[in-house]
Amino acid sequence: MSARTRTTLFLISAAGLAAIFAWGLRDVPPMGDYRGPYGYVLTQVAVYERHATDTVNAINYDYRGFDTLGEEFILFASVLGVLLLFRPAGQKKEDAGKKRVQLEDALPVSDTLRVGMQAMAATMIVFGLYIALHGQLTPGGGFQGGVILATVPLVVYLSGNVKTFEAIVSNPLTTLAECGGAGGYAIIGVLALLAGAHFLTNFVPLGKTGDVFSSGTIAIISVTVGVEVAGGFLVLMQSYLREIIEERLQEER
Amino acid sequence: MRLLECVILLLVAVTAPGVVLSRDPKRQVVTLSFYGLICALMFFIFQAPDVALSQITVGAVMLPLMILLTLTKLRRQNLRREREREK
């Protein structure tokens, strides 16, 4: 296809798209327009029914907890997919066991960066835990807290401390966290069944509104999701890192 | 408030083509990361702090990191192949 036909084809389809887009814009409701009843109902009812001040998480982990379970397994499956894709090929595996190429022990970073990043890592751990534990009270929750915690090793890497970074990322506990977190969500749902209620019913005592230990299973599920997400992202990092290490092994050969 | 919303929407509209137009993948990672931050700010201004929090870490840190690691691997692979060809 010559450049000219391509341009003509593009112009025709762009004009078509623009026309359809303009047509679609005609009936767009004004900004902030909301027609479903559930949003209004849930913001009114969530604090009373579930003792959770963050309605978003009350919806995520309780009212539509089953959907979130599915979403969590999307993340689980995609991490699993990456692991499958990056699995060490048969013969390479033996080599990697015998001769393990380390990354640099320490990166040449300035003192400012080193100290600053170490202080930041500590702050981020606290912040991540805070976000993960207060999901039912303030915006945030397990997913956000988990992702924040998973970025902490990167900050450690930036501080030049490659050894620690490797130790955190290649720790077998990450896989355990990934699997345990994902399974834990389902197990909490099954426990509700054993307690004689429907799957994922909020069967734990709700506690006092505003407390860290309130809102029953919402807080518990939020923490399990945090564990799963942090583990998942660390596993991802590990597999990417292993790819680069293997590349170095081949280079040295 | 309306003004802030307009400004942030304009910023998103400007940075998104910026990501597409930066052709060098290495630079694209930086612009993508910046675009992720702007998006997070937009979510925050439109009163979705939950989404903003995850967007900051996923869009501005994790995604660029994975692309960067992939680029590193590709570059090293290319270097190695070139060296082998020279031999």
pLDDT by residue (tens digit) across A78-128?
999 988 888 776 555 555 544 455 566 667 788 898 899 999 999 999 999
Q: What is the pTM of this model?
A: 0.84
Residue A7 lies in a domain: no
User: pLDDT value at position A98?
Assistant: 45
Average pLDDT over every residue of A185-192: 92
**Rounded-to-10 torsion of CA B62, A73, A90, B75:** -20
User: pLDDT value at position A95?
Assistant: 52
Q: Quote the Cα angle for A102-A108-A110, to 5°.
A: 145
Domain that holds residue A162: 34-252
State the Cα–Cα distance between residues B83 and B52, nearest whole angstrom: 45
A138-155 CB burial, b ≥16 within 10 A, e <16: ebbbbbbbbbbbbbbbbb
Higher pLDDT, B10 or A2: B10
Bridge-partner residues for A161, per DSSP?
A: A106
Residue A18 lies in a domain: no
Token pair listed for A228: 């799963």
Residue A125 lies in a domain: yes
Cβ separation B62–A244 shorter than 8 A: no
Cα–Cα separations (whole angstroms), residue B53 to A89, A112, B48:
37, 27, 9
Return the residue in B53, B75, B83, B84 with the most chain A beta carbons within 10 A, the one to mutate for interface testing: B53
Residue A143 lies in a domain: yes
Token pair listed for B36: 């992720």
Cβ separation A244–B72 shorter than 8 A: yes
Element (H, E) at B30: helix B25-45
Judge whether residue A235 has pLDDT over 80. yes
Judge whether residue A171 has pLDDT over 50. yes
CB B15 within 8 A of CB B23: no
User: pLDDT value at position A158?
Assistant: 85
Residue A113 lies in a domain: yes
- pLDDT tens for A139-164 read 888 899 999 999 999 898 888 888 88
Cβ separation B61–A144 shorter than 8 A: no
What are the φ/ψ torsions at residue A139 (nearest 5 degrees)? -55, 145
ipTM (interface predicted TM):
0.82
Cβ separation B77–A247 shorter than 8 A: yes
Q: Which residues between 34 and 53 in chain B have a beta carbon less than 8 angstroms from any beta carbon of chain A?
A: 49-50, 53
**Rounded-to-10 torsion of CA A121, A122, A124, A130:** 160
Residue A14 lies in a domain: no
> Which of the residue ranges A22-26, A159-163, A194-198 would you say has the lowest mean pLDDT?
A159-163
User: pLDDT value at position A249?
Assistant: 74
Cβ separation A251–B76 shorter than 8 A: yes
For residue A45, the tally of other CB atoms under 10 A from its CB is 13
Residue A68 lies in a domain: yes
Judge whether residue A56 has pLDDT over 70. yes
Higher pLDDT, A190 or A162: A190
Low-confidence spans in chain B with pLDDT less than 70: none
State the Cα–Cα distance between residues A122 and A148, nearest whole angstrom: 12
CB A227 within 8 A of CB A150: no
Phi/psi-derived region of residue B24, left when phi > 0, alpha when psi is between -120 and 50, beta in every other case: beta
What one-character-per-residue DSSP string does A222-253 give? Answer: HHHHHHHHHHHHHHHHHHHHHHHHHHHHHHH-
Judge whether residue A186 has pLDDT over 80. yes
User: pLDDT value at position A183?
Assistant: 92
Structurally, how many domains does chain A consist of? Answer: 1
User: pLDDT value at position B73?
Assistant: 83
Residue in A with minimal Cα distance to B81: A251
B78 reaches A (C-beta below 8 A)? no
For residue A109, the tally of other CB atoms under 10 A from its CB is 15
- Of A177, A182, A199, which is closest to residue A70 (Cα–Cα)? A182
Q: Is A123 strand, coil or helix?
A: helix
Residue in B with minimal Cα distance to A236: B66
Domain that holds residue B54: 2-86
Tokens 């004009």 belong to: A15
Judge whether residue A199 has pLDDT over 70. yes
Residue A24 lies in a domain: no
Structurally, how many domains does chain B consist of? Answer: 1
CB B28 within 8 A of CB B19: yes
Q: Within 13 Å, how many C-alpha atoms sit on residue B27's CB side?
A: 7
Tokens 């940075």 belong to: B15
User: pLDDT value at position A245?
Assistant: 75
What are the φ/ψ torsions at residue A161 (nearest 5 degrees)? -95, 75
User: pLDDT value at position A212?
Assistant: 83
Helix axes B49-57, B25-45, angle to 10 degrees: 160
